[in-house]
């Protein structure tokens, strides 16, 4: 079943379609552009089995860690068989771009039951599928947020294994992955996977946009496509006549707050998969005392109201101080506006702390595979016919 409210889901890409046209011209005269970056591919539907299983081309199974630098690691792609009816759980996840930077890459993670894992042409198995919406670039190009606002990059809905996602975040980037299990029923989980596959197999009709057609906004669209209207995560703020994007839908670092506010966060702790300790010695592997205190406080029924009151007091005070520079009733008007804004931000902060501090730390070792270290037999692509570049 196709989803109609996602702009990317237009036509399904299959093996019978013609090969992609030559590479597009350079997006910037200041960058030396090469071929398409080989670390991403456009998926293709290879085969449907009578029992419901599907074979998909362009599935990323990690990076072979061969080369002097991490940027030289070679991607592994292979035709992969999965069963869309075997969904067990679905997660939204985030991996910060850099340590200490409050910006993150968003992922959708679908977990299959233990008896029906994904399997690639080599016989490798993984019981979790990852959808990573990324900006498609050429070799030599660098990601720039401002170019993303201008729509300079095509978008690619990259499918991959969980091994791939963990390796990139915990070994290549060194930022870890925060996992949030979604509170969905079985039918919603299956439909969400189907919608994710549909959009991944479609020809994109819009370029990557830093906020409006991004990794995070597309994951939100997918979740919104299977929940009732009252649980959908809003994109636009009711403030300023809905002209501004809500912070909880613009920055994946507020993912926990967005989910908790709409009752989409499953009960229980979230999970944080920490960095590989051999590559990043000294990485945090358990909750700090401060995080534990915040986690305990955030479970109180008074937590959210207290944060809202505190935010209102702080925002109102700052607004009044700024408004005092204005004539007439400026101080009162700006003070009230500041108080309302502060209360809203206090609620967001309360939800984010509650969602993210109640966390179990997990080691990435259980998802690392020996073949990623190099020296193992080459990955059998099984005639993988996925497209390296977008169709034009």
| Residue 294 is assigned to a structural domain of this protein | no
Question: What are the Cα distances from residue 4, in Å, to 10, 221, 271?
Answer: 9, 11, 32
The tokens describing 228, both together, are 């009732």
Residues 54, 181 within the same domain: yes
Residues 184, 167 within the same domain: yes
Q: Checking DSSP bridges between strand 270-273 and strand 359-362, what pairing results, if any?
A: parallel
A 10 A CB-CB count for 296 gives: 12
Residues 351, 382 within the same domain: no
Q: What is the largest CA-CA distance in the chain?
A: 77
The tokens describing 339, both together, are 């108080």
Mean pLDDT of 286-298: 92
C-alpha 136/C-alpha 155 separation (Å) is 5
Residues 21, 106 within the same domain: yes
Class of residue 192 by CB neighbours under 10 A (exposed 0-12, middle 13-18, buried 19+): buried
3-state secondary structure at position 43: coil
Residues 143, 257 within the same domain: yes
**pLDDT band at 81; cut points 50, 70, 90:** very high
Residue-range definition of the domain harbouring residue 320: 299-358
Instruction: Report the pLDDT value the prediction gives residue 21, as an integer from 0 to 100.
Output: 39
CA angle 37, 14, 84 (to 5 degrees): 95
User: What are the pLDDT digits (tens) for 180-208?
Assistant: 999 999 999 999 999 999 999 998 888 88
Residues 6, 106 within the same domain: yes
Residue in 212, 223, 214 with CA at minimum distance from that of residue 245: 212
Residues 90, 200 within the same domain: yes
Query: Is pLDDT above 80 for 113?
Result: yes
Instruction: Report the pLDDT value the prediction gives residue 34, as an integer from 0 to 100.
Output: 63
**pLDDT band at 25; cut points 50, 70, 90:** very low
- Contacts of range 207-210, beta carbons closer than 8 Å, 24 or more positions apart: 207/151, 207/152, 207/153, 207/154, 207/155, 208/133, 208/134, 208/135, 208/136, 208/148, 208/151, 208/153, 208/154, 208/155, 209/148, 209/149, 209/151, 210/145, 210/146, 210/148, 210/149
Q: What is the CA radius of gyration of the chain?
A: 22
Which parts of the chain fold into alpha helices (H)? 145-149, 162-167, 186-200, 215-224, 247-250, 255-261, 289-297, 303-323, 330-357
Name residue 14's beta-bridge partners.
Answer: 45
Query: Is pLDDT above 50 for 359?
Result: yes
Helices and strands, counts by H and E, the chain: 9, 12
Residues 162, 55 within the same domain: yes
Residue in 277, 280, 276, 298 with CA at minimum distance from that of residue 359: 298
Report percent pLDDT > 90 for the chain.
57
Residues 327, 188 within the same domain: no
| Residue 291 is assigned to a structural domain of this protein | no
Query: Is pLDDT above 60 for 7?
Result: no
pTM beyond 0.85: the answer is yes
Q: How many residues does the chain have?
A: 392
């Amino acid at each position: 079943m196709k989803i109609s409210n996602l702009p990317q889901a237009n036509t399904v890409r299959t093996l019978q379609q013609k090969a992609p046209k030559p590479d597009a011209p350079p997006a910037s005269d200041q960058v030396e552009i090469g071929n398409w970056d080989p670390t991403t591919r456009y998926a293709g539907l290879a085969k449907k089995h009578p029992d419901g299983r599907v074979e998909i081309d362009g599935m990323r199974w990690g990076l072979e860690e061969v080369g002097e630098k991490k940027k030289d690691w070679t991607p592994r792609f292979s035709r992969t068989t999965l069963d869309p009816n075997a969904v067990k759980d679905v997660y939204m996840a985030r991996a910060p771009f850099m340590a200490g930077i409050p910006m993150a890459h968003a992922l959708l993670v679908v977990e299959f039951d233990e008896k029906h894992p994904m399997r690639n042409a080599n016989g490798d198995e993984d019981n979790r599928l990852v959808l990573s919406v990324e900006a498609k670039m050429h070799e030599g190009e660098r990601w720039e947020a401002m170019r993303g606002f201008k729509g300079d990059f095509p978008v690619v809905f990259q499918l991959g294994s969980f091994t791939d996602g963990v390796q990139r975040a915990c070994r290549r980037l060194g930022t870890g992955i925060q996992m949030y299990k979604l509170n969905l029923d079985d039918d919603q989980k299956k439909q969400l996977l189907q919608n994710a596959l549909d959009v991944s197999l479609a020809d994109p009709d819009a370029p990557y946009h830093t906020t409006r057609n991004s990794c995070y906004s597309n994951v939100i669209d997918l979740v919104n496509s299977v929940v009732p209207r009252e649980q959908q995560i809003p994109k636009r703020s009711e403030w300023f006549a809905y002209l501004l994007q809500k912070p909880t839908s613009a920055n994946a670092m507020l993912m926990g707050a967005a989910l908790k506010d709409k009752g989409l966060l499953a009960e229980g702790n979230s999970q944080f998969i920490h960095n590989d300790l051999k590559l990043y010695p000294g990485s945090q592997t358990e909750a700090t005392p401060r995080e534990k205190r915040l986690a305990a406080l955030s479970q109180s029924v008074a937590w959210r109201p207290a944060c809202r009151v505190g935010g209102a007091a702080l925002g109102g005070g700052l607004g009044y101080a700024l408004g005092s520079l204005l004539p007439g009733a400026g101080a009162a008007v700006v003070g009230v506006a500041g108080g309302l804004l502060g209360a809203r931000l206090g609620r967001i902060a309360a939800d984010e702390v509650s969602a993210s501090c109640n966390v179990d730390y997990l080691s990435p070792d259980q998802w690392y595979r020996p073949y990623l270290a190099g020296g193992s037999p080459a990955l059998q692509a099984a005639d993988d016919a996925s497209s390296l570049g977008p169709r034009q």
